[in-house]
């Protein structure tokens, strides 16, 4: 695990439900944005028949070869989610990470990303256009 001074929490990206990936699997990952684009191609949320839509954030690190370093950690889940919803989405997140690794880093990105935590936000709830609604309370995992 990296020392506290060495940790760099990278900006979370939004992986939207229904976003279709192109051939990102075939391209090398050279930037932080490329990391999130690559992961978007692997995201398959559970069907509505199995779980209600929710937002979930996972923190994950990679080694130089693009494999997951340590254990991914869920840091946020929508407060209104049931235990079943959380379980289904945790499984979907882990399957997405499994499908997308090893991350095809370029040499430069491999050195920059190795050991650094990425906070990745998987969103599948639609945000309400009504700005007067109170914000949803956070629930820590």
Q: What is the pLDDT of residues 9-34, one digit of tens each?
A: 222 222 322 333 334 445 899 999 99
| Residue 18 belongs to a domain | no
Position 124 scores a pLDDT of 80
pLDDT value at 136 more than 60: no
Assigned domain for 25 exists: no
Q: What is the rounded distance in angstroms from the CA atom of residue 89 to the CA atom of residue 71?
A: 16
pLDDT recorded at residue 110: 96
Of the listed ranges 44-53, 65-74, 99-108, 128-137, the least confidently predicted one is 128-137
Residue 66 lies in a domain: yes
**Phi/psi at 137 (5° precision):** -75, 145
Flag whether pLDDT at 128 surpasses 80.
no
pLDDT at 133: 38
How far apart, in whole angstroms, are the C-alpha atoms of residue 10 and residue 6? 12
- The whole-angstrom separation of Cα 88 and Cα 92 is 6
In terms of residue numbers, what domain contains 78? 32-123
What's the pTM? 0.69
pLDDT in tens, 33-84: 999 999 999 999 999 999 999 999 999 999 999 999 999 999 999 999 999 9
* CATH number for 97: 3.30.1150
Average pLDDT of span 100-110: 96
Within a domain: 95:
yes
Total domains in the chain come to 1
CA nearest to 96, candidates 127, 65, 123? 123
Is 41 a member of any domain?
yes
Residue 68 falls inside a structural domain: yes
Report d(CA 26, CA 53) in Å as an integer: 29
What distance in Å separates the CA atoms of residue 10 and residue 121, rounded to the nearest whole number? 11
In a domain, 84, yes or no: yes
Instruction: Please give the pLDDT value at position 116.
Output: 96
Q: Is residue 72 part of a domain?
A: yes
10 Å CB burial of residue 40 (0-12, 13-18, 19+) is buried
Three-state DSSP at 109 gives: helix
**Burial class (CB within 10 angstroms; exposed 0-12, middle 13-18, buried 19+) of 71:** exposed
What average pLDDT score do residues 99-127 get? 91
Do residues 121 and 12 make contact, with C-beta atoms less than 8 angstroms apart? yes
């Amino acid at each position: 695990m990296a020392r506290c001074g060495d940790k760099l929490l990278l900006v979370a990206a939004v992986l939207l439900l229904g976003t279709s990936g192109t051939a990102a699997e075939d391209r090398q990952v050279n930037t932080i944005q490329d990391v999130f684009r690559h992961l978007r191609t692997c995201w398959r949320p559970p069907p509505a028949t199995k779980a209600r839509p929710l937002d979930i954030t996972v923190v994950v690190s990679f080694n130089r070869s693009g494999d997951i370093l340590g254990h991914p950690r869920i840091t946020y889940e929508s407060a209104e989610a049931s235990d079943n919803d959380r379980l289904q989405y945790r499984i979907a997140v882990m399957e997405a990470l499994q499908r997308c690794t090893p991350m095809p880093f370029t040499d430069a990105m491999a050195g920059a990303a190795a050991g650094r935590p990425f906070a990745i936000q998987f969103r599948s709830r639609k945000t309400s256009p009504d700005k007067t609604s109170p914000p949803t309370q956070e629930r820590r995992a």
